[in-house]
Amino acid sequence: MKIQQVIDFVEDYSKPGFQAMWSFVVNVMRPFSSGMGLRVASLSPQQVEIVVPDWLRNKDEKFLHEATFLTAAKEGLRIWIQRLLGPATEFEIKQIQIKMLRPVESSARVCFQLSDSEKEIFLHQLQQKQQIEYLFAWTVLDENEMKCAEVEIKTFIQLPAYLDSGTQKKNQKKETSRARN
């Protein structure tokens, strides 16, 4: 094979059209859960936002399927809990309810947000009891910021046994002193 033929071959397969087609083929062949294209758009101690793309595999006929919202909310909750409370924190989803307000024809954002006071109450309850049941309310918004669905997830959360409230208070004092410096 001549050098020019190799260059032509590489140029043909690096064109945007070919890359888009190849991406589509590979995406269709992936297992369903890994091919949903979910993306974390925002993650902080007060909020989580997961983007659900408007992909063919995420749709039921012409609308985004409810399963994509539920998967986004469950994964967002897992990420948020592990970031806020640590990776050893155990949680179990007890109940999920979804209320569809209108069908979603475009990409969607699945959002969860706690105010500072709600977050402090949540953490205080967890420190007091080491295990709690908590109801997380998620909102599904379309590209036009219209509310399309509400997802409620009732979750049982348990702190690891090796973290007692004294250790947590010491860690909080360290974080506070670091933030001041």
- Provide the 8-state DSSP code for 179: H
Is pLDDT at 178 greater than 60 in this prediction? no
- 6 and 77 both lie in a single domain: no
- By residue range, what is the domain housing residue 92? 34-180
State how far the alpha carbon of 169 is from the alpha carbons of 11, 39, 61, 114, 120, in Å.
60, 33, 52, 22, 13
- 97 and 112 both lie in a single domain: yes
Residue from 54, 145, 162, 146 nearest 101 by CA: 146
- 49 and 11 both lie in a single domain: no
Please state the pTM of the whole predicted model. Answer: 0.67
Express each pLDDT in 74-109 by its tens digit.
Answer: 999 999 999 999 888 999 999 999 999 998 888 899
The answer to whether 132 and 148 are in contact (CB under 8 A) is no
Number of domains into which the chain is organized = 2
Query: How far apart (Å, rounded) are the C-alpha atoms in residues 10 and 14?
Result: 6
**Percent of the chain whose pLDDT exceeds 90:** 41
- 1 and 87 both lie in a single domain: no
Express each pLDDT in 25-63 by its tens digit.
Answer: 555 555 554 567 788 888 899 999 998 888 777 777 778
- 168 and 95 both lie in a single domain: yes
